[in-house]
Each structure stands twice: as C-alpha cells, then as structure tokens.
Structure 1
Amino acid sequence: MASVASCRYRNQEPAMNCIIVDDEEMSRAIIKHFVEQTQFLHLVGVCPDAITASNVLRDEAVELLFLDIEMPQMSGMELVRSLTVKPQVIFITSRTDYAVEAFEYQVADYLVKPVTYARFLKAVEKVRDNMDLHTLSQQNPRDIYVKTDAKIVKVNLNDLLYVEALADYVILHTAGGRHIVHSTMKGIEKKLNTGDFARVHRSFIINVEKIEAIEDLSILINKKYIPIGASYKDAFYKRLNVL
C-alpha cells in the first residue's frame, strides 16, 4: 500500500492519508475496516510494528497515524518521540494508564479497545476539523477560523478586541459582536501568536492596539474595563514601555 490514490471528500478536497500501526492482527483488521468505511480517510499503510511504520513515514506523506502503544522492539510512544515531523496521532490501546503521558505529546485522541465505529468517527472528525481550521488560517495570517456551534466563523484579528474565559469556553469579543468557542485560553493564545495580543489576566487576552486607556489596574477597551492580574502586571507594563 505504498501509492497514494486520488480519493476525495467534501468539495473535492483530498482525503487524509493515514497508516495503522498495531502488533495485533485483529486490531489492525478492525481499524482498517473503519478507515475503509470513512470517506475522508485514505489508507497508505498497515504496519505490524513501529519500526516498519517509521520507514513508511519516511516514504509517504502521512497526515494521520493510528498507533498502538505497547509493541515489541519499539513502543508507540518511542515512535512519536523519534519523529521530527509529526502527523496527527490517535493512540488506540487496551491500556488506560498511558492516557496522561500520551496527551503530553499533544496527540489528537486516545481510544481504548475495543473501539466502536462511532467513537472512531468522532475522533477522526475532530482531526479533520482541526486540520481544516489550520489550513484556512494559513491562507491569511490576519484571520483565524473558529468553530461555534455547527458553523465555522472567520475572525479578522484587526477586529478582535479581547478574549474572555468562561468555564470550558472562551468568548471572542469583536467590533461586530461576540463568538463563543469551546476552547481553553492557552489554545486561543496559540492562535493569536502575533505581537498585537497580550495576556493581562488569567481570564483575559487583549488586543493591545485597541487600548483606549489604563486606569489603576484596569484597561479600557470599547467601554469595557478589563482587570490586570497581579501576576501579569509587570510583564504587561514592560511590554508597553511604561515608566
């Protein structure tokens, strides 16, 4: 399975190339069947061990890796650590005790055997949506794309006033309204990786260009007073070059 076929999905966008790595034949067969039932996936390799997989990864443009953890010679964790260019990774394992360590490698998901197709599909759809958002954002670095409810919304960074944390969500306040997104502040900070934004409180990220005034320990933006956290104050004032 070395060649890449011209499978298509959505508006004629290319399918995601993926490989399966598992030393259990039955597990490989089940995941292979799931992949073949999923229109936006294209299988380019099925590997019985991590060493074989590392060779496939050198030869093929792989975007998604279905990976067992406990395998002879080289574990799934060791394979991930060895990769300089990392595809999206979904661990599929019979063990639950590796989950915390697995997510330290920023894997897309962690599935525990036996895996149902519904759970498999949920995981790969999350990967697909994240890759779509990343691709869209790369087209214009002044735009970010966020998922709100059932739609994807484009937010121009010039219009973004500030970001506010709300439990498991964040609110993006813009000149034209607000968007509620299921994300963490850390995740949004990564998207706002430009010099225009500053974390000023554990619950607020601001657009520095939108500051109207700073009064005591508050920042005025668009008639809203935003608190400055004590642990963020010195770094924020230093950034503004306040004497």
Structure 2
Amino acid sequence: MTIQCVITDDEPLAGKGLKGYADKIGFLEVIAVCEDAIELNTILKQQPVDLLFLDIEMPYMTGIEFLKSYPNPPKVIFTTAYEQYAIQGFELDVLDYLVKPVSFERFLKAANKAYDYFSTRQPGEQPYIFIKTDSKLEKVLFNDILFAEAQGNYVTFYTADRKIMTHATLKSVQEKLPPRQFLQPHKSYLVNINQISAIEGNMLHVGKQDVPISKYQKEEVLERILNNKLLKK
C-alpha cells in the first residue's frame, strides 16, 4: 500500500526535512512540497491525495482555517511549533499532531498511525458499503454505484438495476466512499467517475441518467474526469 501525501510548511528547510523523513519510509509517496494554503489548494485541485502533513501558522491562511474550509479534505497530520493548537487539531479529527522540531522517531510513529488508518480503508480490501434501508442493511459494491443523490435528510444510491434510499447526509456518505473514485459535481450529487459515459454541456451521462454539473465547480470537475485523457482533433 502506498499513501500519497503533500507536505505544506512555510519554512522551506522544515518542509525539506519532512520530505527527507518521508522518503525513508517506503509506503509514503510525496506528491508535492509547498509553502502555503493557496499553493496547497491548487495542488489538491489537480490531484487527490490521501494525507497532508500540514503546518498551522502560515501566511494568508492557517492550516486550521484551510482544513475547516476545504470540502472533504484528505486526512491530516499537523506539524507545528505551537502546542496550544493540539485540542483544536484533534477536534478536527486529525490523525496526529507533531510539534517541531520533529524527530524521525516521532515522524515514523505518525506515519505508522496513518498506515494503520488507511490499511483498514483500502477500496481493494473493502470495495463495498452497507446501506441501512428500512429494517435491513444492503451491501453495495463501490463499482456498482452510478451516483448518489441528496434529497433533504435522505440520500438515494443509484445502481444499474436498483435505487436504495437511506437516512443520511451527502457529506457523511462522501466520507465513506473512496475519494479517488467519487467526485461531487453538484451540491446534491456524488458520481462514480468510472461510470461516466459522456459529458455534454453541464450534464454528466451516467448510466441512463443525467447528473448536473454546478457552474461553480465545472472546471474542477472536468479536470478530475479528464485527467489528461482528452483526445482532440
């Protein structure tokens, strides 16, 4: 298993040091090292990742502000020189909180914690979800889900041959689905990227149905779907 990660730290030497640590750990793959939340935001729009090593005190926006504002962020390990943010960090469900200067021993402990977390959530090992509906739990494979639609306090899952409604929020559903396989083109929908057969205007053709693309998210959605796979004349 490989955990793809991004290191964000406004101190270049600190970022370089963390990358050096990560490069020694076989299951960590550093996709990028950046210096602030703005640069991190751009990177995440281009390529979904599993884990962020995220500094807190940075220019423009703190790591905590970024984590609160970014929709469905990757898991986070905070790296900071300030201990007073620890409680806020764990309230945001971060995996770990590293206080600088970070030793390799402490970094390795945090990395192993991330490995344990992701190893129990790998789509290859658990490629399904149980959906509570009426008085039973229905097992549905991730690959069979075409899309999910939010309707008030309920979410309906669509597959090729059935619809399953459950009492849930779209956000809670999104947290249970593999982020590399599902995207949110609209505030009311989650779509299986592998099930998209065509893109026409502001609509995605998914199975025999159409799913809208929000005009505010169209550029990001197309970037995720096409991913350098666009063949032009």
TM-score range normalised by the length of the shorter chain: 0.5 to 0.7
TM-score w.r.t. the length of structure 1 is: 0.51
Partner Cα distance (1:81, 1:117) in 2 = 28
Partner of 1:35: 22
Partner Cα distance (2:47, 2:72) in 1 = 12
Q: Does 1:88 align with 2:85?
A: no
Amino acid at match of 2:127: Q
1:200-231, Cα deviation, whole Å (9 max, x unpaired):
xxxxxxxxxxxxxxxxxxxxxxxxxxxxxxxx
Higher relative contact order (CA 8 A, sep 6+): 2
Q: Name stretches of at least 5 consecutive residues in structure 1 with no aligned partner.
A: 1-12, 143-156, 158-243
Partner of 2:41: 54
Partner Cα distance (1:25, 1:140) in 2 = 41
| Residue correspondence of structure 1 range 93-108 to structure 2 within 5 A | 93-108=80-95
Once the two structures are TM-superposed, the CA of residue 61 in structure 1 deviates from its matched residue by 1.9
1:96-148, Cα deviation, whole Å (9 max, x unpaired):
00000111110000000010111111111111111111227733557xxxxxx
Larger Rg: 1
Partner Cα distance (1:17, 1:70) in 2 = 23
TM-score w.r.t. the length of structure 2 is: 0.53
Partner Cα distance (2:108, 2:92) in 1 = 21
**Secondary structure of the equivalent of 2:113?**
helix
Partner Cα distance (2:84, 2:99) in 1 = 10
Partner Cα distance (1:140, 1:57) in 2 = 25
Aligned length: 131
Partner Cα distance (1:134, 1:103) in 2 = 20
Amino acid at match of 1:88: K
RMSD: 1.9
Once the two structures are TM-superposed, the CA of residue 73 in structure 1 deviates from its matched residue by 0.6
Partner of 1:8: none
